[in-house]
A and B are shown apart, each in its own frame.
Chain A
């Protein structure tokens, strides 16, 4: 999503790059809307975490396929479970997956990307590039599905599979940025005063890729949620709990029988979150773009 950027005199008054980025972000109305929606989802997830709502998601009843009512706001499914409760609980599952995968993949991607970039044209760089190339050459969903299936005994099999896939993109972006940064004056100065290479990398270079890390994390977050839905739909994702993917999978039977509640709720919740996160992510990219910050 491309958004017009207002370069009124106010922006020049902003002193630091961070305040300039914040100023740019808060003037992006679509981005703010996206952030607000994501915050609402996050609050819903927190409510489930703290046991405030969504606790009865697994409770079955005699009321099969009920339409929306005061008792069941979004109706019930084929075994009398409350669809609203399931949708709410699944929001927490989506956030758990999204956050865990985004954090781990971004962390791994940043570390390996930074090392590869810092050791550009060395054997370490070649090895890391080879690993990334191998992982990227395998069809994405096939790889994740195979990994999730192979490790199906593990509770976090799906999460691990996604982390293994998603870190490479962050690593490539960070690597390119580190190659650019390592020739800049502040890095050469650090070398000149005899600072250790590890310190230079972790103290001076990696912090300067933080804007990329944030952007990559948001992209990975959305990708992880979408992938979780697909894997759960295929029966390779969430096992014991409930997720939007499982609700959509359940809906394949319901739809044939003329019941759409499960499908509309799960796909609607997913659609809104993905759109909101994309708006937020786009706005963040624009706000943190160093070219616009100059």
Chain B
């Protein structure tokens, strides 16, 4: 009898241990009058330290916990910058080399024991200077330094001289508590965009120094939300009660009645965000779980539509129309991503890349072009993107103003006969074709990408036995192999950091070769000269012309098989007022989310 009782007690204890965290543990209350918005993402952030915010998942949380000098207008498309912690857009000297930025006074970091008496102090210009220096400190392992490498006077030297935070940097100074001055080595028109990225978020030195590596999981900033709990499944945040009062002007933010009138956004006009009391961001990689969490009750309020649910959601593709049962229950929007997917060649690979032997070089060029001709973007789009993606030639995607809608589509149209002719013309036969290795992070989906590519290539006569699948256990290892130049051919995606084609063109700039952003190790002196010429120009027809010239060079050299911009559908519950966007706007929209209480 005693044993039975003991077992019952043990079972009861076990069940108690299985219950979810109590509100006290998460720091959250179960108060039903509070407005709680539950967001979802399809992967989790690695770190919430701004200097490591290299993924959309990290960036989404970082820009809500910390302040950045600039942000993007909530509803304006194409994307447009606006001041955030800064009082106005930067004052730029006539030579384009000196940026002066004023920041708002009386903005405070949230409380932390590292501050005097544990109370958050005011954010000052020196905090911004410190935050940028952190990216250049080799001890920190930051991933965003490339944005300012070689561009700010004295910053690289500061890094080389031991990264002492008490040493002044000529080109990065706080003139007073509210004035920042940046001096550039050469004009850098994209600088303001970089100051809207999570990498440039402002961190308090005393907290960073006290927490060390822990700062990545216990971040303290001055943003609209305060992080209460963060693990691999969910991040709990609560409204920052001391967040500055800045009433929302929906017309300034780009409100368009034709696009936004059904979403309830006009109710928020002239109210000060954040509007919700608590924000939960759930990281749910498994699409089926995410879909069920979204459709069954209020476990999450927002999701993108997973590939395997597109049949359930989409009724018609051209023009896009969703099933009535979806539109009756949920709000939705959709749009092209600010980025694209592409296949790339490693131009240093002896079999497919540049060769010192002129004849071999021509043959390799023909081989790359033949593979590109065999690639069927249309079929790929229908198989993997439900036909909703936008196929475009070259590397300037439709989401940037420099996109050329009149560019020839020859490089993205399948031409098997042309591919075969090109191979024959350059003496390529099934006997002398090299082994084609398709490097990829291993997953069922990526294997299908490979199989489809193999299918395309066999149509032009490439022997199936020569097309090899080289999977890696995860994206990190795959990316490492690409950076180590071990992958002759790879399939990747690029999400733009800012709405300027320079962000994709720099991927082909010679000095950026791996381990930099130029994964293709493309070295073309003419391209590099044009890039250097264009990088200092402000947006203008002259700069656009240079961009397009570089785009054509990459197309002519058959460096990439590009590209396709995916069209993403966002769904959210009808009791939520929001206009979600995962692209360049990142997580800035979350401060404007509101919940309609029943």
Contacts and interface: CB of A to CB of B under 8 A. Distances in A.
Give the dominant DSSP class at A's interface.
Answer: loop
B430 interface: no
Interface in B414-444: 442-444
Given A250-B444, A253-B445, A240 B469 contact: yes
A246 B447 contact: yes
**Which 5 interchain pairs have the tightest Cβ spacing?**
A60-B455, A256-B308, A257-B308, A79-B452, A235-B442
B444 A58 contact: no
Contact of A58 (B443, B445, B464): B464
Contact of A60 (B308, B310, B452): B452
A249 B471 CA distance: 15
A256 B309 contact: yes
B303 to A, nearest CB: 14
A161 to B, nearest CB: 16
B451 A256 contact: no
B454 A256 contact: no
A253 B308 CA distance: 6
A81 interface: yes
Given A253-B308, A256-B309, A60 B379 contact: yes
21 contacts: A58-B451, A58-B458, A59-B455, A59-B458, A60-B456, A62-B382, A64-B382, A79-B448, A79-B451, A80-B379, A149-B473, A235-B442, A235-B443, A249-B447, A250-B448, A253-B445, A256-B287, A256-B288, A256-B308, A257-B307, A257-B308
Interface string B458-479: 1000001000110101000000
Interface in A234-266: 235, 239-240, 246, 249-250, 252-254, 256-258
Interface in B269-306: 287-288, 306
A37 interface: no
A81 to B, nearest CB: 7
Contact of A78 (B443, B448, B456, B464): B448
Given A78-B383, A235-B443, A235-B471, A257 B311 contact: yes
Given A235-B442, A235-B443, A58 B383 contact: no
A257 B306 CA distance: 10
A15 to B, nearest CB: 52
Give the dominant DSSP class at B's interface.
Answer: helix
B448 A239 contact: no
A80 B383 CA distance: 8
B469 A64 contact: no
Contacts, number: 60
B455 A79 contact: yes
Interface in B20-43: none
Given A64-B383, A80-B383, A235-B442, A58 B308 contact: no
Nearest to A153: B470
Interface of A: 58-62, 64, 78-81, 149, 235, 239-240, 246, 249-250, 252-254, 256-258
A108 B310 CA distance: 52
A79 B383 contact: yes
A235 to B, nearest CB: 5
Interface in B515-534: none
Nearest to A60: B455
A78 B446 CA distance: 13
Interface residues of B, number: 28
Contacts of B308: 253-254, 256-257
Nearest to A77: B448
Contact of B454 (A58, A80, A249): A58
Most buried by A among B455, B456, B471: B455
Contacts of A246: 447
Nearest to B306: A256
Contacts of A257: 307-311
A62 B471 contact: no
A188 B447 CA distance: 60
Nearest to B291: A256
Given A80-B383, A81-B451, A258 B444 contact: no
Given A80-B379, A256-B306, 9 more contacts: A58-B454, A59-B458, A78-B448, A79-B383, A80-B383, A252-B444, A254-B308, A256-B288, A257-B311
Contact of A240 (B442, B445, B468): B468
A234 B442 CA distance: 10
A154 to B, nearest CB: 13
Contacts of B452: 60, 79
Contacts of B454: 58, 60
B379 A62 contact: yes
A266 to B, nearest CB: 13
Nearest to A255: B308
A240 B469 CA distance: 6
Most buried by A among B442, B444, B452, B471: B444
A253 B458 CA distance: 25
Nearest to A81: B451
A25 B237 CA distance: 70
A258 B308 CA distance: 8
Contact of A253 (B307, B379, B451, B455): B307
Nearest to A251: B444
A58 B469 contact: no
Nearest to A233: B444
A250 B383 CA distance: 14
Contacts of A79: 383, 448, 451-452, 455
B455 A58 contact: yes
A252 B306 CA distance: 13
Nearest to B380: A79
A246 B444 CA distance: 8
B469 A258 contact: no
A75 B382 CA distance: 18
A280 to B, nearest CB: 33
Contacts of B464: 58
